[in-house]
Structure 1
Amino acid sequence: MPGSGPMALHIYPQLLAIQKQYSQLTFHIEATPKKRILEGVQSGLFDLGIVTDKPSEHLFNSENCGTEVLALILPKSLENKPLTPELLMECGLISHPDALYYLSLYFSHCNEPGLDKINPEKVPSAGYINQLSQILVPISQGIGFTVLPQSALNAFALPELLHVHQANTIVSEPLYLVHKKGRELASRYQRVLAHLNI
């Protein structure tokens, strides 16, 4: 079952709990970009995938399975400072493969004064890392800010060293569970999906 890195962090412990109950089940989890998820489902490499955009109804069966909330995450030392474009520009972005997409989505939907005017491509870089488990490490040490799904924050070992900005409007994306059109899923999938909290 492929999905984003944060989604994999979120559902993998749940899948392990299911596997402990049903030892004959095995799971293959892959954190990969949306395009690869859909290609893998279409080719039969993956049985199921989780994406944030509803795919073509001609090629896929999909159902809304939840939402993924985005969080603007800053160092704890900035907790009592007003969030302004200037503060973010001074702080700098800890970038990652989805950073510009998440920034753009967050800035345009959070309903915070001035943020919708920021061009995400113009935010100065404070670093780049493509390993999900490490993205929040520099921020926990006072370096930079980023935007990630809440599930990535929930998996971080030291959340007390971080400040999550409470936006005027919660920014989230829908999640869709997809499988190949015309392919009947075995009944065991329904049992597994019934136990998942996506």
Structure 2
Amino acid sequence: MLNPQWLRTFLALVELGNFTRAAERLDLTQAAVSQHLRHLEDQLGLLVVRRPRGIELTPAGRALLDYCGEMELADRRLTSRLSDQEDEAGEVGLITPGSIGLVLFPLLLDLQQQRPEWKMRHRFAPDSEVLDAVLESRYDLGIVALKPDDPRLAASRFIEEPLELVVPAHEDVHEWSDLERLGFIDYPEAHATASRLLSRRFPGNPGVGSLRRQGFSNQISLILEFVARGLGFTVIPRYARIAFGREEEIGVMECGAPVIDTLWLIHRAEWPLPARCARTVEYLRERVSVPVIKCEAKRKRVVKV
């Protein structure tokens, strides 16, 4: 590591071309300027050649001058990254559950088209993986269904998401026997999710595990493909249904009092978000309800049971 004071002396000497003027600018003696230069030359070799009318840089001196320029640029980048103005370029990392992620992902792409210098990186993951990824700073932002109690994480309400009973178009569900007839489309965590809604609509039911399993997918974007083809029913978070492109092929059964999850936006609490990430959050908060409004208006049918 080169001594910063020696480098400042070298830069002043190069700019002014004179030992006396460099000493005056730096409030040093001329002997101190010469000593700083000598220390650098002991490490790097001859840097300057004294001429009657100034100095001339050697190849090593030009290389050191370039190095000083790179260091100055690196200092500016560091200052920018640590300041609230650091939104010029960089990555925005967001990790979410599948359902809300299906709606947020196209919004992230819209934002990247507006700000190409912001590189969007998104991953679908369950709550446990979201928490680990944000805690380990592998992602700037995360969304979880349960508010964390870890003091290292800051959590704020992002949006509410109801659960929905989704059946093939032209099917009705009035009794538990209708669900038995249709069969269940399964996915990871589906039993816990479905039980929360179905236990309210059909109290005392024998449980989701008693239903015939008609299909399974671990990709939340594919679950409603089964339903749209008439192969069974499922219980799914609303945003997964909204993201499905063929709403005319499915129906949503109204089940009385809704079962609603609050989704929480999380990030590390010990330091502020980069400005580009904070602006991304603002952008998503402003727009996340828009797809809901559009899709709700286009729904063909909602059947009360």
Query: Aligned partners of 2:177 and 2:203: how far apart in 1?
Result: 10
Query: Aligned partners of 1:183 and 1:101: how far apart in 2?
Result: 35
Cα–Cα, structure 1 residues 100 and 159, in superposed 2: closer, same or farther, change >3 Å?
A: same
Q: TM-score, normalization: structure 1?
A: 0.91
Quick check: 1:157 aligned with 2:248? Answer: no
Task: Report the CA distance between 1:82 and its aligned residue.
Answer: 4.2
Q: Where do 5+ consecutive residues of structure 1 fail to align?
A: none
Deviations 1:3-22 (A, max 9, x none): 11111111011111111111
Which of the numbers 174, 183, 201 marks the counterpart of 1:83?
174
Q: Which residue identity lines up with residue 269 of structure 2 in the other structure?
A: K
Which of the numbers 251, 260, 269 marks the counterpart of 1:172?
260
Give the number of the structure with larger relative contact order, counting CA–CA contacts within 8 Å between residues 6 or more apart. Answer: 1
Query: Aligned partners of 1:116 and 1:160: how far apart in 2?
Result: 32
Query: Aligned partners of 1:70 and 1:116: how far apart in 2?
Result: 19
Deviations 1:4-60 (A, max 9, x none): 111111101111111111111011100011100001111111111000100014231
Q: Where do 5+ consecutive residues of structure 2 fail to align?
A: 1-93, 289-305
Q: What secondary structure is seen at the aligned counterpart in 2 of 1:132? A: coil
Map of 1:92 onto structure 2: 183
Q: What secondary structure is seen at the aligned counterpart in 2 of 1:126? A: strand
Q: Which residue identity lines up with residue 2 of structure 1 in the other structure?
A: I
Deviations 1:112-147 (A, max 9, x none): 2x2453422222211111122221112111111001
Query: Aligned partners of 2:280 and 2:188: how far apart in 1?
Result: 30
Which of the numbers 249, 274, 278 marks the counterpart of 1:190?
278
1:1-198 equivalence runs, <5 A: 1-78=94-171, 81-108=172-199, 111-112=200-201, 114-115=202-203, 117-196=205-284, 197-198=287-288
2:140–2:277 Cα contact (<8 Å) kept: no
1:107–1:118 Cα contact (<8 Å) kept: no
Deviates more, 1:60-69 or 1:114-123: 114-123
Q: What secondary structure is seen at the aligned counterpart in 2 of 1:26? A: strand
% same residue: 27
Q: How many residues align?
A: 193
Q: TM-score, normalization: structure 2?
A: 0.60
Query: Aligned partners of 1:83 and 1:31: how far apart in 2?
Result: 34
Query: Aligned partners of 2:206 and 2:124: how far apart in 1?
Result: 29
